[in-house]
């Protein structure tokens, strides 16, 4: 017993074992293929959105400022976790160093909280566009958009810093085995052999703030949007107004539903078996789908993509 519960007086563990799907070896090859394809698609799709938002003059509006930052952070999301997962799945030694693990969950939680606020800022943009169309340019001016983006990144960093400071102080006794694909704060808290009441409470409060407050603002914005749209006499006008919001609503659903399941419960009691597949979903599937959601359902983005491809084709032909 004493051997398996060594105190943390020896210092931080050298590394952690990431189980992933080690208990289901038949899943590793198909999951490796899915992750590899998803990572390539997510990378190409998000880079395309960033380039289109920067290069096409018609995509310099407020919505596309937020969209380019959303694509950038999702590009960082996947790069933080997926390469490590692919390496572990192709190797018999499924480990990650203590420092690498710390960097991984620090960046992951920074990006997650930043995304919550950026999605709320995008909902605000849609509210002003539909409910205050004549004042849209006056209200959603570029400096305000840049300030909202700065608040998102800085507040996300502040949350991550608090989580890292509290988590690195936790002792880890015995074998450091994480039943997950990558390092996350809830899994780290569950692994610790110390009293984690402070960590649980801090995580619960911060997550409630960063998930529920932006979500409440998003729902409030869409409540006003629905009321404004229903007042439109023309069915074509109503369809067009709802169409401008549909992509954002799909992205919000894909992001918030897994996040609510994962984090709005005590870390010490959540199911790691279910949690690891939920976290896999929002760390790779959502960033892969988002560029296609915005491209396929947005005429301006599709037009910008066609113009960019036509320009590249002309340059090649010339």
What pLDDT does residue 201 have? 86
In a domain, 149, yes or no: yes
Output the pLDDT for position 9. 39
Cβ distance 93 to 191 under 8 Å? no
Residue 287 lies in a domain: yes
End-to-end, the C-alpha distance of the chain in Å comes to: 74
In a domain? residue 125: yes
Which of 284, 278, 220, 240 shows the shortest CA–CA distance to 81? 284
* Residue 298 is assigned to a structural domain of this protein: no
**CA dist., res. 187 & res. 185, Å (int):** 5
Q: What is the spatial distance between Cα 22 and Cα 29, in angstroms, rounded to a whole number?
A: 11
Provide the pLDDT for residue 271.
Answer: 60
Residue 87 is predicted with a pLDDT of 85
* Neighbouring residues of 292: CB distance < 8 A, sequence distance ≥ 6: 45
- Structural domain including 37 reads 18-293
Q: Could you tell me if residue 309 is inside a domain?
A: no
8 Å CB contact between 119 and 252? yes
Please identify which residue in the block is written with the tokens 């597949």: 277
In a domain, residue 301? The reply is no
Reading the block at residue 152, the tokens are 């998102």
Residue 97 pairs in a beta bridge with: 15
96 within some domain: yes
Closest CA to 86 of 121, 129, 36: 36
DSSP label at residue 17: E
Give me the pLDDT at residue 265, please: 63
Give the global pTM. Answer: 0.85
Residue 318's pLDDT is 54
Predicted confidence at residue 181, as pLDDT, reads: 82
Number of domains, the chain = 1
- The enclosing domain of 264 has a CATH number of 1.20.1070.10
DSSP conformational letter for 21: T
Interaxial angle between packed helices 62-89 and 28-55, expressed in degrees from 0 to 180 and rounded to the nearest 10: 160
Beta bridge partners of 228: none
Residue pLDDT tens, the chain, 318 long: 333 334 443 456 677 888 777 677 777 888 889 889 999 999 988 898 888 888 777 777 888 889 889 999 999 988 988 888 888 887 777 888 888 889 999 998 899 899 999 999 999 998 998 888 888 888 888 899 999 999 999 999 999 999 999 988 888 876 688 877 888 888 888 888 888 888 888 888 888 888 889 999 999 998 998 888 887 777 776 777 677 677 788 888 888 888 777 776 655 555 666 667 777 777 788 888 888 887 766 677 777 777 777 776 777 665
Q: Within 13 A of 10's CA, how many CA atoms are on the CB side? A: 9
Nearest 5 degrees, angle CA 129-CA 134-CA 135?
Answer: 75
Residue 8 contacts residue 171 (beta carbons within 8 Å): yes
What is the SS3 assignment for 95? strand
* Cβ atoms 206, 159 nearer than 8 A: yes
Q: Tell me which residue of 145, 139, 185, 172 sits closest to 279, measured CA to CA.
A: 185
- Residues pairing with 177 in the sheet: 17
Q: Can you give the pLDDT at residue 123? A: 92
Residue 241 placed within a domain: yes
**Residue carrying the six token digits 């959303």:** 70
């Amino acid at each position: 017993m004493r051997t398996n519960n060594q105190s943390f007086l020896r210092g931080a563990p050298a590394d952690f074992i990431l189980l992933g799907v080690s208990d289901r070896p038949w899943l590793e090859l198909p999951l490796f293929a899915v992750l590899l394809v998803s990572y390539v698609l997510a990378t190409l799709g998000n880079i395309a959105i960033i380039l289109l938002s920067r290069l096409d003059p018609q995509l310099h509006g407020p919505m596309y400022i937020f969209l380019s930052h959303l694509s950038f952070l999702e590009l960082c999301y996947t790069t933080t976790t997926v390469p490590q997962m692919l390496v572990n799945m192709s190797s018999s030694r499924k480990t990650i160093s203590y420092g690498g693990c710390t960097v991984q969950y620090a960046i992951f939680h920074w990006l997650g909280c930043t995304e919550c606020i950026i999605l709320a800022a995008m909902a605000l943009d849609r509210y002003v566009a539909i409910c205050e169309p004549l004042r849209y340019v006056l209200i959603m001016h570029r400096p305000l958009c840049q300030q909202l983006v700065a608040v998102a990144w800085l507040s996300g960093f502040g949350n991550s810093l608090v989580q890292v400071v509290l988590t690195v102080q936790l002792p880890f006794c015995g074998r450091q085995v994480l039943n997950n694909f990558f390092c996350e704060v809830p899994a780290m808290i569950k692994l610790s052999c110390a009293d984690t009441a402070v960590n649980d409470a801090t995580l619960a409060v911060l997550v409630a703030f960063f998930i529920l407050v932006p979500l409440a603002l998003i729902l409030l914005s869409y409540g006003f949007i629905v009321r404004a749209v229903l007042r439109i006499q023309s069915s074509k006008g109503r369809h067009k107004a709802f169409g401008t919001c549909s992509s954002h609503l799909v992205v919000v659903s894909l992001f918030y539903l897994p996040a609510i399941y994962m984090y709005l419960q005590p870390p010490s009691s959540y199911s790691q078996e279910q949690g690891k597949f939920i976290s896999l979903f929002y760390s790779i599937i959502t960033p892969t789908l988002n560029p296609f959601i915005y491209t396929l359902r947005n005429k301006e983005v599709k037009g910008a993509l066609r113009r960019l491809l036509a320009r590249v084709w002309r340059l090649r032909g010339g």
